[in-house]
Amino acid sequence: MSQKIRAVIVDDEPLARDRVRMLLAGVDDIAVVGEFGDGRSAVNGIRELRPDLLFLDVQMPEVDGFGVLHLVGAGRMPVTIFVTAYDQYALKAFDVSAVDYLLKPFDRERFLRALARARKQMPSADSQARLLSLLQHVAKNAFMERLVIKSAGRISFLKADEVDWIEAAGNYVRLHVARESHMLRETMSAIEGKLDPAKFVRIHRGAVVNLERIKELQPLFHGDHQVTLRDGSRLTLSRSYRENLERVLGRSL
């Protein structure tokens, strides 16, 4: 008996997850091994479960479908069928990259067509190439280039590239820029998903760093590393986030 295709469903709407699960229940060779209602838990789940097939909602709060793709990395993503409500930009991005998507609301016939196309992409080398194309297309159009800072009744604008590193502060983040710092009402997960992952990498649960500001890395204990920035700031690259930096650098630490 052939091994079943392992599928994961990601959508912030419980009814939408139920719909996909119900349609998959009639497909004998697919087993749903995980469901997630937000992008952050989906990233961790995909890394841990390593499914063969992923149904991924695009519009989710904080970390959306594109953010999940950025954080996991196209080379580590399973064959993916995106699920989206009407979004002209998103549909154009999918079409350009030849990535399949389901437009809500979809019927069983359309669902099965998408599933048939996904099967043809397994194993996932071709799918990963298409996801990389999607990632590159989105990167040219969607990443935050400037940040709006509100303080003492004033609004100022800050280029994202000027930020040295970002520190978590509850429901806020603290932007470290040269010798100044600015508070921004964003969660760490939300701002991480909006910044270019080729330039900004999360190295710790409470820190995102601008790669251009890293001066050196020094190994510590238990797989952690000390990250020294050009301004002398010292941060910690935790073992659990080391893979993020390795992926961008293209080498193991």
| Model confidence at 137: pLDDT above 80 | no
pLDDT band at 133 (very low <50, low <70, confident <90, very high): confident
pLDDT band at 233 (very low <50, low <70, confident <90, very high): very high
Report how far residue 105's alpha carbon sits from residue 110's, in angstroms, rounded to the nearest whole number: 10
Nearest alpha-carbon partner for 55 in 20, 3, 90: 20
- The CB density around residue 241, as the number of other CB atoms within 10 Å, is 18
The pTM of the full predicted model, rounded to 2 decimals, is 0.57
Phi first, then psi, for residue 215 (nearest 5°) are -95, -45
- The CB density around residue 231, as the number of other CB atoms within 10 Å, is 12
pLDDT band at 211 (very low <50, low <70, confident <90, very high): very high
Report how far residue 221's alpha carbon sits from residue 137's, in angstroms, rounded to the nearest whole number: 39
Structure tokens at 154: 């004033």
Spell out the domains of the chain, with CATH numbers in brackets.
5-142 (3.40.50.2300), 146-249 (2.40.50.1020)
Mean pLDDT, the chain, rounded, equals 86
Structure tokens at 62: 């904080």
Q: How many whole angstroms from its chain centre is CA 209?
A: 16
Q: Is 44 left (phi over 0), alpha (psi -120 to 50) or beta?
A: alpha
| H helix count then E strand count, the chain | 8, 15
